[in-house]
Amino acid sequence: MHMQYKTRGTCSSMIEFDLDGKTVRNVRFVNGCNGNTQGISRLVEGMDVDEVISRLEGVDCAGRGTSCPDQLSKALRQAKEAC
């Protein structure tokens, strides 16, 4: 299932990804810190959705209360609930 998630409170404006059963695939951030978002995308490729959520949820960027990794966890949680 291909998903798009509009981020809030981050430099990235959207996250696109595929959820293949419980496996995270093809994560792509629109905007944001290019090197960091590419790194996150590569690290989570092929991981279990619950593991990604557990590891990234609550990561803060510069006191914003959220971050690109945290927004990815929110997007994945929303996608899981939609299934």
What is the rounded CA–CA span in Å between residue 54 and residue 32? 22
pLDDT of residue 83: 80
The amino acid present at 18, given as its one-letter code, is D
Joined together, the tokens standing for residue 41 give 């995308």
Q: How many domains does the chain have?
A: 1
Domain that holds residue 71: 2-82
pLDDT tens, N- to C-terminus, the chain (83 residues): 999 999 999 999 999 999 999 999 999 999 999 999 999 999 999 999 999 999 999 999 999 999 999 999 999 999 999 88
pLDDT of residue 67: 97
pTM to 2 decimals?
0.96
Query: What CATH number is attached to the domain comprising 24?
Result: 3.90.1010
